[in-house]
Structure 1
Amino acid sequence: MANKVEIVSREVVKPSCPTSQDLSIYKLSFLDQFAPAAYMPLLLFYPVDGDYNDSKVENKSQVLKTTLSETLSLFYPFAGRVKDNSIIEYNNDIGIEYLEAQVDCHLSQILKKPDPDLLKQFLPVEVESSRAGVGPLLLVQASFFECGGLAIGISVSHKIGDASTVNTFIKAWSAIALRLEDEAMKPQYVLSSLYPPVNFPIKVPPMELGKSKTATRRYVFNSSNIIELRSIVASAALQQPTRVEAVLALIWKCATTASRINLGCSTRPSLMSQMVNIRKRVIPPLPNNSVGNLLGNFIAQEEENEIELQSLVVKLRKGLEDYSNFEVKKLQEGDAFVSISEAFKKIDDLLKNCEKDFYNCTSWCRFSFYHADFGWGRPKWVSISSLRIKNTIILMDTRDSNGIEAWLTLSEEDMALVEKNEELLAFATLNPSIY
């Protein structure tokens, strides 16, 4: 389906209250310094509430802009700009970008058969844009459909935080829109004191772009299929795999199988890197509303000829446990920078290694994006869009919080085989309707 998304306005939104001079410089932590210069995408879709008219559109747009300005007073670094990959500079002349768009179709046309590529039109900037390191740290696009439906596209630079930070921001923004008071929604700025920035250049492994054409597909695992899958992948070694472990193991197996077939090899090392939110893993635990990149990662490896799901989930669990028991401790014992530097060097080496398949997974499950109510109800659907970063897996909750939506980006050749994989299709539906 071809549809036109026309940007009708673009403006700067600033914090409603001027930031004091002593807060004009925000120090990045060295974890932030290692973060990629890329935007995290998030799309929230809201069907029309009641009868449609132009005044409702104007009212919603004004609510979004006004409350966004108020929220930025709490999240003041979001309105600044990164300088020298070490600080964020803020003054009252800088802000975030707010775009408004009109879409010449009904929202139902998008939701009946979502197209990962077309969804990019509802984001204010591309995920891979270089602006993430030097331009606005936050951009918002409100797209209004002919029916009065609304898509809110949010792009947050990874330099300011991770998915948990985005969740904290959305939670605060919607609470302010509903005029709710909640101390837990207020951001905590603790990272730069725990992990102060370093004064020499940090090399961040580049995202793998342009080496091969990629394809992004959305697979939905409902709760009953996940229950069945968990029972299949369980074993004496791991009796209670999580739903994320079960789903990721299946995707890992299918992607690796496709790669081996296309390369004509029966044995080829396959590695899975999974991101870990370390807020609750450090001692003492840090609050969920801590702003910044509180992320680590572990790598699990599969080299066997025959790929067994039960073996993969055990490897994923062991990787997480080893990371929690050993690597997290390093973050608190004085050699945190060395530990993170070594981890990034390892990833950089793996990205350059043509003899191994390297996959990267991020789970956004258990975040409260579906609770983002700005005064017209919760979103019908929360999603991302297609990516150009090969071998990437992003997992998100379904609306009922029990299922999982898996967004998988592979080379076009590998995806062509994965799409036909009967084992995957036995547990997941390829791009079903939102209705």
Structure 2
Amino acid sequence: MASHNNPLKILETCRVAPFPNSSQSATELSLPLTFFDTFWLKFPPVERLFFYQLSHSTLQHFNSTILPKLKHSLSLALLHYLPLAGKLTWPPNVPKPIISYIPDDAVSLLVAESTADFNRLSGDDIRESPELRHLTPELLTSDERASSMALQITLFPNQGFSIGITTHHAVIDGNVATKFMKSWAYLCTKLDTQDPSLLPELTPFFDRAVIKDPTGLYMVFLKNYSGFHGVRYFRSQPAKLDGGEGERKVNFLFPVDYRNRMDPPLPANYFGNCVFPGQAIIKARDFMEENGVVIITEKISNMINEIEEKGVYEGAEKNLENLMTVEAGAQTLSIAGSIRFNVYGVDFGWGRPKKVEIVSVDRTGAIALAESGDGNGIEIGVVLSVNEMETFKSVFVSGLQN
């Protein structure tokens, strides 16, 4: 039963497989990791939450209409995204992990009902992070394997529903995760048509041969990350909260998508990771200056220009070394998400999301970025302690007023 501390009632736990009676669903698939994938092996799963407002979402309507459509279209979408129904495996005595799918594989789906206030959870006010964590599923993991993806659909009776998606970062990046959600949503809107097909721009491209590795970055990344625990280096805190000496160095990390920066460029629908962190060491005083945004933007712009000139390979080993040798406990700012994913375009036929959150920033400490729901700006998400959040509110409001 739902309780005040955990207002969640589990309705069903099931596995959704790629649609049966298809030659695709009976096909085994194995994908090697690239050096882009290997970089993310030790990072926590990415958890994103989509809220959909629907006032007539009674339990009966949910069970008879909404849930069957979501399950059926999910099964159809998985036909195109077989690795997401599979797993990341690293068997003993095998030097390289692989992503694999066999016909018995399926995605774990948890269906629940919540008595929580949908409008508050999907609003812009401050919330406790455990309130959102109830709505996201855990990945099944062991020493030798991990699920690629897990899903949770939660009904808020007469208010709406949410979809929580958790993905292994070594399998896909945010670009692909968003394309999968759009594929699932698109097929959900086409269930009334006979043999609905997926749009070409949403159909994943699996050929790993397009990722060249002339300098052996795969083995370099794999060797170095065997002893790396990732997240402890990437704990963030907005700049002006920390104060302290202006000469103190701040490690600023931001995701760089290399799809269009490879030679030749990768297909836009490439399945896998093609993201690597850009890194800038910035003095604390730059964040605290009145025109700090301009200063930092200029520094990042210069770094992007340098990346455009050098590409992914030149200096990659040195960049990895710099990322791994950041002093433990040093202040770090990192970014999750992107304002280019159009996450608010994921419409299953009941309207655009009311709110989209990256829940996993409560574990990584990253600052979440997305385009705003109305398309007129950006959304920024941060997770802080109570005292830090109060200070952040004061600093943020003061900044807007000035």
Query: One fold, TM greater than 0.5?
Result: yes
Aligned to 2:193: none
- Asked whether 1:122 is paired with 2:127, we answer no
Aligned to 1:28: 33
- Asked whether 1:186 is paired with 2:203, we answer yes
Within-5 A mapping of 1:58-97: 58-84=64-90, 86-97=97-108
- AA partner of residue 175 (structure 2): S
What is the distance in 1 between the residues matched to 2:282 and 2:230?
23
- AA partner of residue 346 (structure 2): A
Within-5 A mapping of 1:27-426: 27-37=32-42, 38-48=44-54, 50=56, 52=58, 54-84=60-90, 86-112=97-123, 113=125, 115-117=127-129, 118-125=131-138, 134-147=145-158, 149-179=160-190, 181=197, 182-195=199-212, 198=218, 201-204=222-225, 205-209=228-232, 255-261=238-244, 265-303=245-283, 305=285, 307-308=288-289, 309=292, 310-328=294-312, 330=313, 339-350=315-326, 352-354=327-329, 356-385=330-359, 387-389=361-363, 391-409=365-383, 415=389, 417-422=391-396, 425-426=399-400
Deviation per CA, 1:56-114, whole angstroms, max 9, x where unpaired? Answer: 43321111111111111111111112122521122112211011001124522423546
8 A contact 2:55–2:158 mirrored in 1: no
Unmatched 5+ residue regions in structure 1?
Answer: 217-251, 429-435
What is the distance in 2 between the residues matched to 1:168 and 1:99?
21
- AA partner of residue 278 (structure 1): Y
After TM superposition, give the deviation of residue 287 of structure 1 in Å.
2.4
Cα distance, 1:36–1:359 mapped onto 2, change above 3 Å: farther
Describe the SS at the equivalent of 2:178: helix
- AA partner of residue 133 (structure 2): K
Aligned to 1:244: none
Unmatched 5+ residue regions in structure 2?
Answer: 91-95, 191-195
Give aligned pairs, total.
373
Identity of aligned residues (%): 21
8 A contact 2:56–2:158 mirrored in 1: no
After TM superposition, give the deviation of residue 44 of structure 1 in Å.
1.0
8 A contact 1:268–1:357 mirrored in 2: no
Cα distance, 1:130–1:419 mapped onto 2, change above 3 Å: farther
Deviation per CA, 1:90-144, whole angstroms, max 9, x where unpaired? Answer: 2112211011001124522423546251111110127xx8669832111110000
Cα distance, 1:422–1:369 mapped onto 2, change above 3 Å: closer
What is the distance in 1 between the residues matched to 2:243 and 2:382?
17
Deviation per CA, 1:203-238, whole angstroms, max 9, x where unpaired? Answer: 3342335x99x8x9xxxxxxxxxxxxxxxxxxxxxx
8 A contact 2:29–2:101 mirrored in 1: yes
After TM superposition, give the deviation of residue 257 of structure 1 in Å.
3.2
Q: Which moved more, 1:315-324 or 1:13-22?
A: 13-22
What is the distance in 2 between the residues matched to 1:340 and 1:59?
50
- AA partner of residue 109 (structure 2): Y
TM-score calculated relative to the size of structure 2 = 0.82
8 A contact 1:101–1:142 mirrored in 2: yes
What is the distance in 1 between the residues matched to 2:53 and 2:346?
14
Deviation per CA, 1:4-37, whole angstroms, max 9, x where unpaired? Answer: 1122211111111354777432222121112134
8 A contact 1:124–1:141 mirrored in 2: yes
8 A contact 2:16–2:75 mirrored in 1: yes
Deviation per CA, 1:234-273, whole angstroms, max 9, x where unpaired? Answer: xxxxxxxxxxxxxxxxxx8xx3332233xxx342011211
What is the distance in 1 between the residues matched to 2:51 and 2:80?
25
Any runs of at least 4 consecutive aligned residues in structure 1 with deviations exceeding 6 A, and if so which?
none
What is the distance in 2 between the residues matched to 1:133 and 1:325?
39
Cα distance, 1:162–1:144 mapped onto 2, change above 3 Å: same
8 A contact 1:363–1:395 mirrored in 2: yes
Cα distance, 1:399–1:116 mapped onto 2, change above 3 Å: farther
